[in-house]
Amino acid sequence: MELLPRFIRARDAHGYCGMCRAVFNQVLRPYLTEIPIGTQGLAFDRLEMDAALEQYKSRNGRPSQPKGVRVWDERRRQASSNEGV
């Protein structure tokens, strides 16, 4: 059994979250507490990142659909008002 560290260095945090660095910095980092490590190191709490990811998922996630099934939030096109004229 492998144990995960509680603090994850800033350089590795985006990879832990499965995001590119730019997306991590934009959507998740503002909600995380920065933890200084030594004189130059910076880390984030893994449990806090997990909670922030859950919040992100609840705001932005949607159920997956089997192939060929219409997506639940896909917009329907309005019929033309000139139809039948």
* pLDDT tens per residue across span 37-80: 999 999 999 999 999 999 999 998 887 777 766 655 566 666 66
> How far is residue 56's CA from residue 52's CA, in Å, rounded to a whole number?
6
Q: How high is the pLDDT of residue 64? A: 75
Contact between residue 45 and residue 32 where contact means Cβ atoms under 8 Å apart: yes
Among the listed residues 71, 51, 55, the one whose alpha carbon sits nearest the alpha carbon of residue 63: 71
Contact between residue 13 and residue 45 where contact means Cβ atoms under 8 Å apart: no
Determine the average pLDDT of the residues in 30-34.
Answer: 96
> How far is residue 4's CA from residue 15's CA, in Å, rounded to a whole number?
14
